[in-house]
Amino acid sequence: MSATLEKGINALKRQIDSSVAAFFSSCVHCGLCAEACLFYTETGDPKRTPINKTEPLRRIWKSEYTLFGRVGKMLGLTKKVDDKFLEEWQELVYDSCTLCGRCSMVCPVGNDIALMIRKTREGMAAAGQAPEGLIGATNRSVTIGSPMGVKWQALRAQIGHVEEDSGLKIPVDVEDVEYMLLLSSMEIMNFPEFIEAVAKIFDKAGVTWTISSEAFEATNSGIQIGVSDIAAELVQRIVDVADKLRVKTVISPECGHAYMAIRWDGPNLVGKPFNFKVRHILEVMDDLRQQGRLKTATKESQKLTYHDPCQISRRGGVIDEPRRLIDMISDDFVEMPDGGKMNWCCGAGGGVSANERADEIRLKVFERKKAQLEEVKPDAIISACSNCRIHLEDGLEEHNMDIPLLSLTESIAEHLAED
């Protein structure tokens, strides 16, 4: 066995706990998970059945953690995990899965298949079987601090523009404030107006906040590639700075996987609870709304629908907050079919959009979202994840559908009451 294959197998072993064992013990090969997964429904290829993607992890569980399996291994009867097999599975584990978790919601025996796939990635990555694009993004995250190579000077420049445009000062490295805002590289590069929207909302609400020049990146490539050590290091940078500045709450921006990484995985990755809270920008705005500190004056005139970013809604728990916020700025809102916790994934998260090899399938699976939109026929789509936004725009353009994508945060800011 090569050194990396051995590392891969050991990584898979470390991922197996009682929940994984219960899951594999219970799978009856019913196939319901396939019909919940847009990578199967839009391609019709049964190898993309979610539980099938976990096969590397299953083989290790069987042969290492079940009596029958261990006996079988001794007799040479078990299915092997070797480089060739893992290479074949790369496309299933990375290109054909966004960790959206719809499969986990429908499995009749209760398997959290998305979690199992996430765990499978740990073994794949350690065995050297992660896609090139993700490896690059992860390296840049570790060495530069951002998967897209965005340095502080770049953010500083964007902040300069935002200050110019809004007339507001963006606080940097301020101590003892209520909130520290993280940003994803996607927002910094493609949607810097998000920063302006937050600044306006916080200014009106009288919130004290800051951005840190040392740790501003929200995106966690370690989670997407499946290397917990790297994911932990990226989280630790944020923890160190948040502790240093003594902030009360760290805000995760409009990026789905960033929220999962810092809110739910974070403390478990670094091994201890945080000294601060973590909230999504949507939760923060909803809080302000409840306290009467967020007031809007105008409304959107177009018919709106909401795309639930999977890691924020179904996997993150922030489902009602965006709807209450949309209520403030819209009288013409319609839910997509399956809207809410069962909404369909956009198809680009979890590292899929960072992987050029997956471009074709990513555009193909967009057809699921297209079908939802064709039923609802909205004038515009509101969402809260910049990756969903870009990918949906791509898909809509490809299919000649003229439906603009709006950011919920930016929309709220646009309709703020003057006073």
Partner 1 sequence: MTEIELLSWARGPGLQIATVIFVAGVVIRIFEIFMLGRKANLAEAKGSEMSSGLKTMITRTIPDRTTFKRSSVTIVSGYIFHISLFIVCFLSAPHILFLKDVIGFGWPSLPTAMIDAFAVVTIIALLATLVNRLTNKVMRYLTNFEDLLTWFITFLPVVTGYIAFHRIGMTAPTLLAVHILSVELLLVIFPFTKLMHAFTLFIARWYNGAISGYRGVAS
Partner 2 sequence: MTDINNEAHFKRELESLDDLQQRRVAALFVNHVLSLGGDKRLERVVKTASDEDATSEELAAALKLAHAVTFDSHARCGAEGHWDDQAGYFVARAAVAAVTSPGHSRAGGSAWQAAMSARMAYTSMLIDDDTDQHSAHTECEWQYQCLSDYLNA
Nearest alpha carbon to residue 289 among 207, 209, 205:
205
Among 8, 9, 38, 52, binds partner 1 (CB under 8 A): 52
Token readout for 171 is: 């606080």
109 binds partner 1 (CB under 8 A): yes
150 binds partner 2 (CB under 8 A): yes
Q: What is the separation of C-alpha 299 from the centre of its chain, rounded to a whole number of angstroms?
A: 29
Establish if 186 lies at the interface with partner 2 (CB under 8 A): yes
Using rule CB under 8 A, residue 183 touches partner 2: no
Which residues make Cβ contacts (< 8 Å) with residue 106, sequence separation at least 6? 32, 33, 35, 36
Instruction: Name residues contacting partner 1, limited to 112-141 (CB under 8 A).
Output: 112, 115
Rule CB under 8 A: choose which of 134, 258, 310, 412 binds partner 2.
134
CA dist 154 → 45, 151, 187, 389, 405 (Å): 43, 5, 12, 22, 25
Q: Which stretch binds partner 2 (CB under 8 A): 133-141, 235-243, 262-270, 370-378?
A: 133-141
Q: Could you tell me how many residues of this chain bind partner 1 (CB under 8 A)?
A: 62
Nearer to partner 1, 112 or 196 (CB): 112
Residue 307 region, left (φ>0) first, then alpha (ψ -120 to 50), else beta? beta
3-state secondary structure of 335: coil
Instruction: List the Cα angle 369/370/373 in 5-degree steps.
Output: 90
Contacts of 274 (CB under 8 A, 6+ apart): 239, 242, 250, 266, 267
The option from partner 1, partner 2, none interacting with 402 (CB < 5 to 8 A, set by class) reads partner 2
Q: Of these, 64, 66, 70, 136, which contacts partner 2 (CB under 8 A)?
A: 136
Between the alpha carbon of residue 147 and those of residues 100, 105, 211, 221, 361, the distances in Å are 21, 30, 18, 7, 22
Which string of DSSP letters, residue by residue, matches 346-371?
A: -S-TTTTTT-GGGHHHHHHHHHHHHH
Name the phi and psi angles at 300, rounded to 5: -70, 140
The interface mask with partner 1, positions 298-337, x = CB under 8 A, is: ----------------xxxx-x-----------------x
For residue 38, report the phi and psi dihedrals to the nearest 5 degrees: -65, -20
CB-nearer residue toward partner 2: 15 or 158:
158
- Return the residue of 104, 387, 407, 409 that touches partner 2, per CB under 8 A: 387
**Shortest Cβ 415–partner 2 spacing (Å):** 10
**Single residue of 7, 73, 140, 277 touching partner 1 by CB under 8 A:** 277
Binding site for partner 1 (CB under 8 A): 16-23, 25-32, 34-36, 40-41, 44, 46-47, 49, 51-52, 65-68, 104-112, 115, 263-268, 271-274, 277-278, 314-317, 319, 337-338, 341-342
Binding site for partner 2 (CB under 8 A): 133-134, 136-137, 140, 146-150, 153-154, 157-158, 160-161, 164-165, 185-186, 189-190, 192-193, 219, 221, 224, 348, 351, 353-356, 386-387, 390, 393-394, 397, 402, 414
